[in-house]
């Protein structure tokens, strides 16, 4: 998986670091100091650990490395959205986005390099999946975006959404371990209630989330209220159909009580009729969902879909509201820099790497 021949220091637990210190002839308390440098001060290099003796730093550096994610390039939208192209230690790239709102500062993070699900409307879906992100790389995404939030807005992140590149539930262990670090009191200390994991619909892993009693929110990228249409735009539906997903979501809610959201992108003359709206209502009533987010479609070169006109969107929303559906129109952010929903594709950006 990794090109770096060194061991990844951040994969070591505190007890494991204590064992390392004993083997190196060092006092155990040095392990806690190293651990704090990793997860509270987010050191990018072992030599940054200034209260660790140089001799010990040299010993650690002989076998271990911190495989820190770096910002290669940032793009700034006219609406305040910032898209970041991040370079991993093995020279792969992912994209993440800082999205400012009236009351929120949201980090949209990636979980894989590319994606294997091939959703027809999503730019990432046309990429080959290279590999999963390791948990510490996901944490790096969040810490980099948090630094950006403080720098540009004077306050830290309020929310995190796993809606970037890749399918989070196909990188299950690393996503959950990253969230554990992000929510830990000795990490960023963010409430899991402010974190949403979005899935294209991996029923088995949705059920696993319930069994694991996770505390974060779940969003399902629905985009169609019947299997025929969903099969057409989301091949994963052929093995994870709506009946199976409904059962999995109900299991998740029964075990956790956590908020469930449906995400629904409107495509002109495909899923935007009142009949489509009625099918969505029927799905909504079978799951204890809190919200339906109607999302504006953001065109990509690889696909020919278009967004409906405003009147069609308004009629769709009005129908849902009349049927007592809690519905919200989510306006796209960062479209001018290809940072909006479905547009992350890791396209090369000119310019030097950011320091």
Instruction: For residues 74 and 91, give the distance between their C-alpha atoms in angstroms, rounded to a whole number.
Output: 17
- The DSSP result for 74-142, as a single string, is EEE-TTS-EEEEEE-TTS-EEEEEEEE-SS-EEEE---EES-SS--TT-SGGGSPP-EEPPHHHHHHHH
Active site residue 18: no
Other CB atoms within 10 Å distance of the CB of residue 150: 13
Longest dimension (CA), the chain: 72
Instruction: For residues 233 and 222, give the distance between their C-alpha atoms in angstroms, rounded to a whole number.
Output: 10
Residue carrying the six token digits 């306050």: 155
Instruction: For residues 282 and 323, give the distance between their C-alpha atoms in angstroms, rounded to a whole number.
Output: 10
Among residues 18, 26, 95, 263, the one annotated as catalytic is: 95
Cα 288 to Cα 187, 205, 209, 304: the distances in Å are 32, 18, 16, 34
**What is the DSSP-derived secondary structure letter of residue 341?**
T
State both tokens at 135.
Answer: 């948990």
Active site residue 36: no
Other CB atoms within 10 Å distance of the CB of residue 49: 21
Catalytic positions, written as ranges: 95, 341
């Amino acid at each position: 998986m990794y090109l770096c021949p060194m061991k990844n220091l951040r994969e070591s637990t505190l007890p494991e670091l204590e064992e390392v210190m004993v083997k190196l002839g060092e006092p155990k308390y040095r392990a806690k100091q190293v651990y704090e440098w990793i997860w509270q001060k987010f050191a990018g290099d072992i030599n940054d650990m200034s209260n660790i003796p140089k001799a010990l730093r040299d010993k650690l550096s002989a076998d271990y490395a911190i495989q820190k994610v770096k910002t290669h390039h940032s793009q700034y939208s006219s609406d305040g959205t910032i898209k970041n192209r991040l370079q991993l230690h093995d020279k792969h790239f992912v994209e993440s986005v800082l999205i400012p709102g009236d009351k929120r500062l949201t980090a949209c993070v990636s979980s894989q390099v590319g994606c294997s699900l091939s959703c027809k409307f999503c730019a990432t879906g046309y990429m080959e999946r290279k590999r999963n992100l390791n948990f510490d790389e996901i944490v790096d995404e969040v810490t980099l975006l948090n630094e950006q939030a403080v720098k540009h807005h004077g306050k830290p992140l309020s929310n995190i959404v796993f809606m970037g590149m890749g399918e989070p539930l196909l990188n299950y262990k690393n996503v959950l371990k990253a969230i554990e670090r992000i929510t830990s009191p000795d990490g960023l200390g963010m409430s899991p209630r402010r974190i949403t994991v979005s899935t294209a619909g991996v029923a088995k892993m949705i059920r696993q989330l319930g069994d694991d009693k996770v505390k974060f929110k779940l969003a399902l990228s629905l985009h169609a209220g019947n299997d025929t249409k969903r099969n057409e735009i989301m091949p994963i539906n052929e093995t994870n159909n709506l009946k199976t997903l409904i059962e999995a979501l109900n299991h998740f809610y029964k075990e956790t009580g956590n908020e469930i959201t449906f995400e629904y992108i409107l495509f002109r003359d495909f899923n935007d009729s009142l009949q489509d709206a009625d099918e969505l209502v029927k799905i909504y009533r079978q799951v204890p969902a809190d919200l339906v987010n109607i999302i504006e479609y953001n065109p990509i070169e690889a696909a020919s879909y278009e967004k409906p006109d405003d009147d069609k969107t308004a009629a769709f929303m009005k129908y849902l509201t009349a049927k007592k559906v809690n519905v919200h129109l989510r306006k796209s952010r960062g479209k001018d820099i290809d940072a909006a929903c479905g547009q992350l594709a890791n396209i090369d950006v000119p310019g030097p790497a950011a320091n």
